[in-house]
Amino acid sequence: MARVVIAGAGWAGCAAAVATVQAGGEAVLIEKADTILGTGQVGGIFRNNGRFTAAEEMIAMGGGALFHLMDDSSLHQNMEFPGHKHSSLYDVAVMEPTVRRYLLDKGVDLWTMSRVTNVVMEDGGIAALKLEGGTEIEGDAFIDTTGTAGSIPNCRKYGHGCAECVLRCITFGNRVSITAKAGVTEIVGRKMDGTPGAMSGSCKLHSGSVSQGVRDEMKRAGVAVLPIPKDMIERKRELLSMKVCQQYALPEFAENVVLLDTGHVKLMTSYFPIDELREIKGLENARFEDPYAGGIGNSVRFMAIAPRDDTLKVNDVPNLFCAGEKAGLFVGHTEAIATGTLAGHNAVRYSLGKALLTIPRSTAVGEYNSYGRERMETEEGLADKFTFSGSVYFDRMNELGTYTTDVEEIQRRVDRAGMSNVFMQPVA
């Protein structure tokens, strides 16, 4: 049986583990923290705009298990907020334990509080991952889903210091890149002003710290849009330019505070000075829940992207794959699951000596994977961020005609590409 070792249990790592098992392999999933899902523990948005198309494509391809869990855990479905249609918001309070139970039921060997610190190389490939404390985890193929956020020195140098976010580097240690440890030179993304990285895209407020009227509106509609004082608008516009999530760089987000109900109160900006936030009606008692220092900043991401091909194999290391942010300037849970699924499936294929799979560009997911790779290999593309939900790539989906909410058409598209249920089939 192919043994696939995955470093990092965010959405990408979890999807890779599921895909590995479905392909007939043994999945070992290693996470430095005590919980899985990473930023998925404070995220919650999916199926908005082109993410609907991508999710339905993945379901048709046999990679839909995690999307079904998200659907089942949704607080709101088919809702709208500025610039985003037919959105769903999952409950961040239950998502992590729900996914953890699912992984264990599938037979995934999950190691939490297990920080990878190095690799053991052999004949040009990786033979094992070394954990803090010296334990070595051997495998046939490896997947780097350690992400690109932090570490603390990067957040200090390119942000406003450690914002004490859900990644909890202070407690569990800085991110360690498997790709870099294997000797591969990584790619660094840029903000719009040319400086390295980009800030995480939202903050969470404690639900009890917003007014009852705001809570009632969020419970009813899933969203509350609160106008901000006119003298703050230009500053808010500057904050949005620093966001990793460029799909929110719209006038509505500069002129208002947009709050989404994900269990927490999701504030759609990278940070907001607390004194100014409390000047907004309904937020007089606002308190940040994640990051705790959300009044000054958020985590810095896109500091360590792996150069790779369209099968998600990392360049120059034959048995190393990547997914999620590690695979490109990619933003979002849907995007992480799509890349993680392909990486897990191909890791099993590699281990069994089979040809690796590329998702055809006739699908939105395949085009996203290939176009994102092409763009990050160019200087001008390093300032772009790619998501199915807006900005550069959603514009491209509309131009190519791949965006649709017609589920039957999506299924036909996947079938024409020869990809129907491919991720449900064991690799023989």
Q: Is residue 295 part of a domain?
A: no
> Are 189 and 308 within one domain?
yes
Per-residue confidence at 252, pLDDT binned at 50, 70, 90? confident
Q: Is residue 310 part of a domain?
A: yes
Q: Is residue 296 part of a domain?
A: no
> Are 274 and 323 within one domain?
no
Q: Is residue 341 part of a domain?
A: yes
Which domain, by its residues, includes 159?
A: 3-194+302-424
Per-residue confidence at 320, pLDDT binned at 50, 70, 90? very high
> Are 235 and 358 within one domain?
no
> Are 374 and 306 within one domain?
yes
> Are 186 and 135 within one domain?
yes
Question: What's the domain count of the chain?
Answer: 2
> Are 65 and 171 within one domain?
yes
- Over residues 265-283, the mean pLDDT reads 94
Are 256 and 227 in contact, with CB atoms under 8 Å apart? yes
Are 427 and 349 in contact, with CB atoms under 8 Å apart? yes
> Are 211 and 257 within one domain?
yes
* Per-residue model confidence (pLDDT) at position 242: 59
SS3 letters across the chain: CCEEEEECCEHHHHHHHHHHHHCCCEEEEECCCCCCEHHHHCCCEECCCHHHHHHHHHHHCCCCHHHHHHHHCEEEEEEEECCEEEEEEECHHHHHHHHHHHHHHCCCEEECCCCEEEEEEECCEEEEEEECCCCEEECCEEEECCCCCCCHHHHHHHCCCCCCCCCCHHHHCCCCCHHHHCCCCCECCECCCCCECEECCCEEECHHHCCHHHHHHHHHHCEEEEECCHHHHHHHHHHHHCECCHHHCCHHHHHEEEEEECCCEEECCCCCCHHHHCCCCCCCCCCEEECCCCCCCCCEECCCECCECCCCEECCCCCEEECHHHHCCECCHHHHHHHHHHHHHHHHHHHCCCCCCCCCCCCHHHHHHHHHHHHHCCCHHHHCCEECCEHHHHHHHHHHCCCCCCHHHHHHHHHHCCCCCHHHCCCC
Q: Is residue 297 part of a domain?
A: no
How far is 423 from 19, CA to CA, in rounded Å? 7
CATH of the domain at 26: 3.50.50.60
**Bridge-partner residues for 90, per DSSP?**
74
* Per-residue model confidence (pLDDT) at position 191: 84
Per-residue confidence at 248, pLDDT binned at 50, 70, 90? low
Q: Each residue of 346-355: pLDDT tens digit?
A: 999 999 999 9
* Per-residue model confidence (pLDDT) at position 250: 65
Q: Is residue 235 part of a domain?
A: yes
> Are 133 and 234 within one domain?
no
> Which residue, 240, 256, 290, sits at the end of a domain?
290
Q: Each residue of 56-72: pLDDT tens digit?
A: 999 999 999 999 999 99
* Per-residue model confidence (pLDDT) at position 240: 62
Low-confidence winner among 7-16, 242-251, 275-284, 292-301 (lowest mean pLDDT)? 242-251
* Per-residue model confidence (pLDDT) at position 150: 83
* Per-residue model confidence (pLDDT) at position 247: 59
> Are 181 and 328 within one domain?
yes
* Per-residue model confidence (pLDDT) at position 201: 85
> Are 269 and 408 within one domain?
no
Q: What is the mean pLDDT of the chain?
A: 94
> Which residue, 265, 290, 315, sits at the end of a domain?
290
> Are 14 and 132 within one domain?
yes
Is it the case that residue 387 has pLDDT exceeding 70?
Answer: yes
> Which residue, 266, 290, 314, sits at the end of a domain?
290
Q: Each residue of 170-199: pLDDT tens digit?
A: 999 999 999 999 999 999 999 878 889 999
Per-residue confidence at 50, pLDDT binned at 50, 70, 90? very high
* Per-residue model confidence (pLDDT) at position 232: 79
Q: Could you tell me the end-to-end alpha-carbon distance of the chain, in angstroms, rounded to an integer?
A: 11
Q: Is residue 35 part of a domain?
A: yes
> Are 190 and 318 within one domain?
yes
Q: Is residue 170 part of a domain?
A: yes
- pTM for the full predicted model: 0.96
Tokens of 253: 């987000």
Q: Each residue of 60-115: pLDDT tens digit?
A: 999 999 999 999 999 999 999 999 999 999 999 999 999 999 999 999 999 999 99
* Per-residue model confidence (pLDDT) at position 290: 96
